[in-house]
Chain A
Amino acid sequence: MHSNFSYLSNSTVMLILCSIAVIAVLCQALYFLKVGFKRGKELGIDNKSMKQVVVSSSVFSIVPSLPILISYMILVPALGKFLPWLRLSVIGSAAYETMAADMAVKANGYSSLSEAFSPEAYLAIVWTVTGAILLSSLSTFLLKPYDRKMKSIQGKGSKFMPVLISAMFLGLLGSMAAPYLVDFNNITGIFTMIVAGVTVIIFNKVGKKVKVVKEFAFAGSMITGMVFAATYSNFVG
């Protein structure tokens, strides 16, 4: 058994394989971006509105991307340079990658990711993080029949359909927000949610008169909430 796995994790083979996958996902996003613009034009959405969406979405995405870099730094010693790059750029998320990798090293007899493990254990991690997400990725193939069914219900002109979509959306929001709403050990989180909520209402109101404010209302409210969290935790909490 080898004592070091970096000859595998930082190998040219890993660099090439991971780069190809990242480029493929990037191509998918670029292709669909083109599709989105074409479709928007067909539907009579003006170019300016679509460009506004690009700018607003891009600006919003910068802040949530930053913690990914921290996760990258945490995963590099355990998984090498290239696998965390791939997993955090595409398909995965920091929480999932850490959980899957941790399960794999424990199954191989190690206590944590920070331990020096064998190349065999490294291979087990690579297989586990890939395999564990496979069913989720394959479930994408259920979208076509499901979407057809939903569209056919929508096509019948049911007045309930917009209500149903709102209800689905609120159901999703409920499940996302629930753990934070009742986390009384983290009052800051509850207050942060409220502050961001109040801010977005103010921004949206101002945005009715000043267009540019509406464009950045979402990102601005999120950042205001975060600034509040930092201030509250450091000075009050």
Chain B
Amino acid sequence: MNESNKKFNNSVHRAGRISTAIVIMLFIAIPVGVTIYSGLKVDYGAILSSTISLAVMMGIAGAVEKMSMTPIMGPAAVYVASSTGNVSNMKFPAAINAMNISGYEQGTDRGEAVALIAVCSSAIVTTFIVFLGVIFLAPLVKPLLSNPYVTPAFNNMFPALLGAMATPFILKAPKLAVTPILAGAIAAYALGAKFAMFKGFLLPVFILLSIGAAYIIYKNDEKKAANVEKQNQKIG
């Protein structure tokens, strides 16, 4: 890594960590503040026991999600996505779309820069729309979105998003795509509705399987290329 990249990465992590710490403290200030304001007694033991299982589940899922997205869209985008939420249905697709339209590969410096711009833009737009929703928009949008003709469109928004996001990459590397998609489909079929519950634990398995299969394909392709080169040398 050159000096300029090193300097940039250090500043990103410093700003990311400081801003995340501030945001976490402000989030914690809300229950603390409202509890003090209410003057009521809170049964912290009961809250802890009802929260811990969900917290561990969300913690594992969150950590795995962040770690798998960091090499793809860069740490800066992940810091922002982590604070702003709606990661897999908005921030991650926005980052992938940005790299796609600008023609930069995932995991490259330029790819990470446009992904960061995309995630921030997406976060700002969502915050603005939700703010408008709070002021006046939500009651106006509700009849439209709960219209029986329109409802299936929004019920199937995520499959539509996935189709649009995944297809170009599957076509670009069909051999690499087979293992993770097949593994995911088998697990989802076997687990049914419980799949969502175990997703945090399954994601690293899918990623490792995908990397393992990619490594075998990569080594095979390397061998084939070496053989072709040998044959060309013989002919030459």
Contacts and interface: CB of A to CB of B under 8 A. Distances in A.
A144 B173 CA distance: 30
Interface string B94-110: 10111011100111011
A76 B194 CA distance: 28
18 contacts: A8-B38, A13-B33, A29-B127, A30-B124, A32-B76, A36-B116, A64-B161, A68-B133, A91-B82, A131-B48, A164-B211, A164-B214, A169-B106, A173-B166, A196-B162, A217-B100, A218-B165, A226-B153
A91 B84 contact: yes
* Interface size classification for chain B: 35 or more
Interface in B180-213: 180-185, 187-189, 195-196, 199, 202-203, 206-211, 213
Nearest to A161: B107
Contacts, number: 549
Given A28-B83, A147-B9, A192-B163, A172 B207 contact: yes
Given A142-B63, A143-B78, A181-B184, A57 B85 contact: no
A177 B166 contact: yes
A112 interface: no
A65 B124 CA distance: 11
Contact of B61 (A89, A126, A136, A225): A136
B47 to A, nearest CB: 5
Interface in B120-179: 120-127, 129-131, 133-134, 137-139, 141-142, 145-146, 148-171, 173, 176-177, 179
Interface in B4-18: 4, 8-9, 11-13, 15-17
A104 interface: yes
B31 A91 contact: no
Interface string A1-37: 0000000100101100110111011111111110111
B185 A182 contact: yes
A81 to B, nearest CB: 7
A128 B131 CA distance: 24
